[in-house]
Amino acid sequence: MKSETSLDNPRRHTSVLAASPKGAAIGRRIARRQLTAWGLNFSHTEPYYAALLIVAELAANAITHGRVPGRGFELHLSVTTSARRGTTTLRIEVSDCRGDRLPVLPARLNPNSQSGRGLTLVNALADRWGTIPRHPNGKTIWTELDLPAADAS
């Protein structure tokens, strides 16, 4: 596992994790620790729990659908504030090595299915989400959560 926090922006964190259930569990713990360190769990707000669930779902998708043997996945967390717009945003990115397998939001859910609800949860919890290609052949799934003023400080 490789981890770094940028010195020029202390509200930015990146970790490279093994594409395994253990790697996904470590990613969830890292997210919880980092969001807490940034004070985003203050009074246990809804965006904090939404962020943890989004990290869990995207990490699970990375190890299930984006796994390439011998390659890991990357978790990137950042908080940005726009003085012009007066908003603060938490961005969660999970990158994997399978650019050929883009996520698709299911048009209809099968109530008897044991899987397939992860992106539906991400879509419901995130204010915005999407995918971007990652050179040379991977992809990044990103989500953004708009933070209330009390959590943004």
Q: How many domains in the chain?
A: 1
pTM (2 d.p.): 0.85
- State how far the Cα of 124 lies from the Cα of 114, in Å rounded to an integer: 19
State residue 42's pLDDT score.
Answer: 62
Nearest to 102 by CA among 65, 71, 136: 65
State residue 108's pLDDT score.
Answer: 75
Q: How far is CA 77 from CA 7, 62, 111, 113, in A?
A: 14, 16, 33, 31
Q: Are 60 and 10 in contact (CB under 8 A)?
A: no
- End-to-end distance of the chain based on CA atoms, in angstroms? 30
The CATH number covering residue 95 comes to 3.30.565.10
Q: How many helices (H) and strands (E) does the chain have?
A: 4, 6
pLDDT digits (tens, 9 = 90+) for 112-138: 776 678 888 999 999 999 999 998 889
pLDDT of 94 higher than 60: yes
pLDDT interval class at 66 (50, 70, 90): confident
Close Cβ partners of 144 (under 8 Å, ≥ 6 residues apart): 89, 90, 91, 92, 126, 127, 128, 129
Question: Which structural domain range is residue 29 located in?
Answer: 2-152
Take residue 152 and report the two structure tokens written for it: 């943004």
Cβ count near 30 (within 10 Å): 20
